[in-house]
């Protein structure tokens, strides 16, 4: 049986791009693995961060909209992404961040693991989870889905995707249900958060636009299109996103889910060594390059 191994990427909305680069590539030392444009609105960037190879399960992407108003997470949205930090590296990272200008709050314990929450320049929560077995700072530990009713989403994840329930934990303000994908791939945890007093969500900068699960092959993705139909979810047709193929659907609680293929990957249009250094455009926008380059603000990468 085909199973989902974990997350492929998370896509969020940010404010001005330079502050975003400074935080994710600078403070958090993620690699900018792709500098491209929003394929549907090529006058804005689409920035991809990840591990040095641009591996699935490490990819965080942003649509920086300079004019986006501040957003606020709430029911029906993904509300946080968490990086898995190696056990031996967690305290060093707290020291590093405290010495900089991130001022993290004290770590809390969640399902027996220490969790540190930072705020990115747009106020989005960035969680760092001390994780046994993590080998570097780049891979995701999990994302949190904020749901009014966790059950339908949990059912989709278990019955369709093959996730298993690890347990629930009460914390101030609500309850967290933890699910894990089978196997030991990175980014294999999904938390579903149910708040006692949910706020009204507002999309905008500092919020997550969608989360993408992995399909290791194109065949697996086709399998998911058909399998999801049986669960009452008609996905979009396969959309070519240059670095992966994508299908999308809205899960029962309202979060936009994507299933993205591992191939062809981020080295499809530039060498791994120099990924992220040049503005890459998909073939359909290449003829607009001069205009796009004149419109987009220049970005400076941290040394």
Give CA separation, 147 vs 79, 94, 159, 164, 255, in Å. 10, 30, 18, 18, 9
Indicate whether 262 belongs to the interface with Zn ion (CB under 5 A).
no
Indicate whether 25 belongs to the interface with Zn ion (CB under 5 A).
no
Min CB(107)–Zn ion separation in Å: 30
Dihedral of alpha carbons 232, 238, 242, 243, sign: positive
Q: Where are the alpha helices (DSSP H) in the chain?
A: 17-21, 90-99, 150-155, 218-230, 289-295
Indicate whether 131 belongs to the interface with Zn ion (CB under 5 A).
no
Token pair listed for 31: 């690699």
With CB under 5 A as the contact rule, the residue among 11, 14, 131, 261 that binds Zn ion is 11
Min CB(279)–Zn ion separation in Å: 19
Distance (Å, whole) CA 41 – CA 58: 25
Indicate whether 78 belongs to the interface with Zn ion (CB under 5 A).
no
Per CB under 5 A, which of residues 146..205 are in contact with Zn ion?
none
Indicate whether 212 belongs to the interface with Zn ion (CB under 5 A).
yes
With CB under 5 A as the contact rule, the residue among 258, 261, 275, 276 that binds Zn ion is 258
Considering the complex, state which of residue 11 and residue 27 has its C-beta at the smaller distance from Zn ion. 11
Considering the complex, state which of residue 6 and residue 150 has its C-beta at the smaller distance from Zn ion. 6
**Neighbour count for residue 138 (Cβ, 10 Å):** 25
Dihedral of alpha carbons 215, 85, 21, 120, sign: positive
**Region near Zn ion per CB under 5 A, out of 10-18, 25-33, 103-111, 177-185:** 10-18
The answer to whether 221 touches 249, Cβ cutoff 8 Å, is no
Class of residue 256 by CB neighbours under 10 A (exposed 0-12, middle 13-18, buried 19+): middle
Indicate whether 228 belongs to the interface with Zn ion (CB under 5 A).
no
Indicate whether 143 belongs to the interface with Zn ion (CB under 5 A).
no
The footprint of Zn ion (CB under 5 A) covers 11, 212, 258
């Amino acid at each position: 049986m085909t199973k989902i191994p974990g997350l492929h990427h998370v896509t969020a909305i940010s404010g001005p791009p330079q502050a975003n680069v400074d935080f994710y590539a600078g403070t958090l030392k993620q690699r900018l693995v792709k500098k491209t444009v929003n394929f549907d609105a090529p006058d804005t960037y689409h920035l991809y961060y990840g591990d040095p190879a641009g591996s699935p399960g490490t990819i965080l992407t942003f649509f920086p909209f300079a004019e986006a108003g501040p957003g606020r997470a709430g029911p029906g949205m993904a509300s946080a992404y968490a990086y898995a930090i190696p056990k031996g590296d967690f305290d060093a990272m707290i020291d590093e961040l405290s010495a900089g200008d991130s001022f993290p709050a004290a770590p809390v314990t969640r399902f027996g693991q220490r969790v540190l929450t930072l705020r990115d320049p747009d106020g989005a929560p960035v969680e760092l989870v001390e994780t046994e077995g993590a080998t570097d700072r780049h891979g995701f530990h999990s994302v949190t889905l904020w749901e009014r009713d966790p059950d339908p989403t949990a059912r989709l994840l278990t019955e369709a995707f093959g996730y298993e329930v690890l347990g629930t934990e009460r914390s101030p303000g609500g309850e967290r249900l933890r699910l894990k994908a089978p196997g030991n791939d990175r980014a294999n945890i999904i938390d579903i958060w149910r708040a006692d007093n949910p706020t009204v969500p507002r999309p905008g900068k500092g919020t997550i636009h969608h989360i993408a699960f992995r399909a290791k092959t194109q065949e697996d993705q086709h399998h998911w299109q058909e399998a999801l139909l049986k669960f009452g979810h008609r996905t979009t047709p396969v959309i070519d996103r240059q670095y992966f193929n994508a299908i999308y659907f809205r899960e029962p609680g309202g979060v936009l889910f994507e299933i993205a293929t591992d191939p062809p990957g981020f080295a499809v249009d530039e060498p791994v060594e120099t990924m992220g250094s040049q503005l890459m455009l998909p073939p359909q926008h290449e003829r607009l390059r001069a205009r796009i380059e004149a419109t987009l603000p220049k970005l400076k990468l941290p040394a």
